Amino acid sequence: MTRVTCDVLVIGSGAAGGVLAATLGETGKRVVLLEKGGHYTKDFFSQREWDATVLYAGRGARYTVDGDIVVRGGECVGGGTTVNYALAMDPVEAVWAGWRRSRGLTGFSFDPSESDYGVAGLNMAACLSEVRARINVHTPGDEEVNDNNRVLERGLRARGLSSKRFSLNMRGCIGCGFCAEGCAYDRKQSTMVTYVPDAVARGVQLVHHCEVEALTFERRSGALVVSGAHARVRPTRKGSQPNSVEPGVLDIRATLVLVCCGSVESPTLLQRSGHPDPHDQIGRGLILHPALPILGVMPGPTTNYRGVSGTVYSDHFYESHGFYYECLFGHPAFGSVVLPGSGPDHFELIRKYNHMAGFGVMLIDNPAATNRVVWHRPTGERRITYHLADGDKARLRIAAKTGVEIMFAAGAEEVLLASQEPLGSLPSPRFRSASDASAVEHLRFEPYHTAISSAHCQATVKMGADEATSVVNARGESHHVRNLMVCDSSVFPASCGVNPMLSVMTMARYQGRRIAGEWARYDA
C-alpha cells in the first residue's frame, strides 16, 4: 500500500481537474492529481479509431440503460479535452445570470471589475480571459474551413439562416481530422498538453490508471469532514506514460478534496462513498445535449474527414427552439455503423463516403428528475437512465426536418438520418428531395434504431443555495461534508447552453483562484 498526504487532492484531470491542479499548483500547496485513465501522449496516438477507444470511458461504448444513447466521455489524462473537437465556446453569461437568480448562487460575476468573495480580481470574465489565452482560443480563418463545413454554411445561407465560426483551442492545426482520436501533433490545446504539464512543472503529483474506490470521511467536532480517498492503481497499460506510484492500493489523506470526474463519475463516486443525500438529489436531472447526425450525399467529392473537423455552426434556433447545428464528420469504422442498412445496400451507400457531408443537431435538453446516474452497488456499474421527454423529441424532429432541408439546400442529392426507423411511407430515413422531409414527424427515436449520442453530460451534482434541490453550494462545497468540493459539469444546475468545455474550464479557474484566496476556510 502507498500512503500519500497532501493539501489538495484533485480527482480527475480533464477540463476541470487539469485547470484546478495547475491553478492550485501556483500557490505552492502540495497537490495530488488522480486520473482513472492512462496517460497517453502524441506518440501513442495512431489516428486509428480502434486504438483510440482506450481513451474513452467504456472504450467508447458507454450507453444509457436502454441502449438509446451512447454517452461519450474521455477517460485519460486530459479527459474530454483530449478527445473532443476543440470547440471552445464561451460561457453564456445569461445562463449563469439565470442560475444566480433561480438557484441563489453567489459569485460568478461576469463584470471584469468585480472581486467575488473579496478575492482580488476574481470574476468569470478574468478567468475566461486567462483560460482562453492559455489554450489559444481563436477563430479559424477561411483557409481552415473544409468542404464539409462549407456545405453547412451554404445550406444555412440558402435557407436564410445564420451561421457562425467556432472558436477553437488549437495552435497551428495541420487539419489531419483526427481530433477525437487524440492529437498526434500536440496542436489541440487540451489540458493534457497545457494545464496538466503546467501542474506537474509546479510540483503537482500526477497519478494515472488510478480508480478512486471511495472518499473517506471522518467526524470532527460532530461535523462530517472528508479526510481523503481510498484508491487502487492499476498496472500501467502499454503505450501510456510511466506512473508516479506502483500499482496497488493508494491511500491519500488530504485537507481539501476536489471531485472533478465529470457528470457520470462524480455522482457515482459520491454515492459509493456514502455521501449523505437526504433529499435524494445526487445523480438526478442529468443533461446530455442529445445529438443526431444528418448526412448528405453530394454530387461531387467532398473533403469531409480531412481538415479541421468543426469550424461552422449555427445558433439560429438557440433562442426559439433550443438547438444548434454543428459541423462534424466521422471516420468509417464507427461511421459505417451510423449509416442505415446492411449488405449490398449499405455498401452502395458507404462507397459514396468521400461524397458525403455531415453535421449534427445538438439539443439543449431540459432536466428531468427521472433522468439519473446511479452507482449500482451489486454489479459495480454506473447506470445512466435517460429518456427523451416528449417536448425534447418534438424539438429534435423540428431540428431534423430543418436539417434535412438545409442539406438539400446545400446541394445534396440524397439526405439521410442516422436511423433505421421507417418513417411513414419511407422504409427508412433516406430522403430523395426536400419535400420528403416532412416524414421526419414520424421519427420516434426508438432505442437501437436511431443513433443519438451525447458528449456533454451535465447537471448531476447540482449547485444551489437550497439543500433540498442541490448537492453543493456556489463554491462547489458539499452541503453535508466539509472540505469536499465538486467542480465539473455536474454542478451546473441545468444545461450551460453551449458545448461545455470552456464553461467548465473557466469555472475551474475561478474556483481554483477562489480556493487560493480563501484557503483559511479549509485549513482551519
Partner 1 sequence: MSPRRDAALGLTRRKFLACCSALAAAGAGCASLAPDMRSAYALIVDPPLADYERIIRALIGTVLPLEVPAFPVTGQQVEARLLRLFRLERDPRFLLLQRSFVLFDQTDLFPHFAPLTKEEKDEGRRTRDEGEAHDRDLYARFAGHGAPARFTALPLDRQREYFDLWRQSRFLLRREFHATARSLAMVSAYSMPEVWAVIGYAGPLLPGHGGGRS
Binds partner 1 (CB under 8 A): choice among 223, 249, 333, 468: 333
**Across the chain, which distance is largest between two alpha carbons, in Å?**
73
Distance between CA atoms of residues 330 and 72, nearest Å:
14
Let me know if 121 is exposed, middle or buried by CB neighbors in 10 A (0-12, 13-18, 19+): middle
Establish if 346 lies at the interface with partner 1 (CB under 8 A): yes
Q: Which is nearer to partner 1, 203 or 380 (CB)?
A: 380
Binds partner 1 (CB under 8 A): choice among 342, 377, 378, 520: 342
- In the chain, count of helices (H) and strands (E)? 13, 20
Q: Using CB under 8 A as the criterion, what x/- string covers residues 347-386 for binding partner 1? A: x--xx-xx--------------------------------
Binds partner 1 (CB under 8 A): choice among 46, 115, 241, 438: 46
Residue 56, helix vs strand vs coil? strand
Nearest to 504 by CA among 95, 16, 116: 16
Binds partner 1 (CB under 8 A): choice among 3, 5, 28, 66: 66
Cβ 148 to partner 1 shortest distance, Å: 14
Binds partner 1 (CB under 8 A): choice among 27, 47, 236, 244: 47
The CA distances from residue 143 to 86, 163, 179, 318, 496, in Å, are: 17, 17, 18, 27, 31
DSSP H helices in 84-138: 93-103, 124-134
Q: Which three cell numbers stand for residue 19?
A: 485547470
CA geometry: angle at 504 spanning 498 and 507, to 5°?
Answer: 120
Q: Which is nearer to partner 1, 334 or 519 (CB)?
A: 334
Establish if 448 lies at the interface with partner 1 (CB under 8 A): yes
Binds partner 1 (CB under 8 A): choice among 96, 178, 325, 408: 178
Cβ 420 to partner 1 shortest distance, Å: 6
Cβ 207 to partner 1 shortest distance, Å: 25
Binds partner 1 (CB under 8 A): choice among 336, 366, 438, 469: 336
Binds partner 1 (CB under 8 A): choice among 132, 134, 331, 509: 331
Strand-pairing partners, residue 165, are 312
Nearest to 192 by CA among 10, 19, 11: 19
Question: Is the separation of the CB atoms in 65 and 44 below 8 Å?
Answer: no
Question: Is the separation of the CB atoms in 4 and 32 below 8 Å?
Answer: yes
Within a 10 A sphere around the Cβ of 353, how many other Cβ atoms? 16
Establish if 164 lies at the interface with partner 1 (CB under 8 A): no
Q: Which is nearer to partner 1, 178 or 195 (CB)?
A: 178
* Per rule CB under 8 A, count of chain residues that contact partner 1: 37
Q: Which is nearer to partner 1, 205 or 428 (CB)?
A: 428
Strand-pairing partners, residue 164, are 313
- Please list every residue from 230 through 249 that binds partner 1, using CB under 8 A: 239
Establish if 303 lies at the interface with partner 1 (CB under 8 A): no
Binds partner 1 (CB under 8 A): choice among 280, 446, 466, 523: 446
Binds partner 1 (CB under 8 A): choice among 305, 325, 431, 510: 305
Q: Which three cell numbers stand for residue 125?
A: 470574465
**What is the 3-class SS of 233-250, one letter each residue?**
ECCCCCCCCCCCCCCEEE
- Positions in the binding site for partner 1 (CB under 8 A): 46-51, 66-67, 174, 176, 178, 184, 239, 301, 305-306, 331-337, 342-344, 346-347, 350-351, 353-354, 420, 446-449
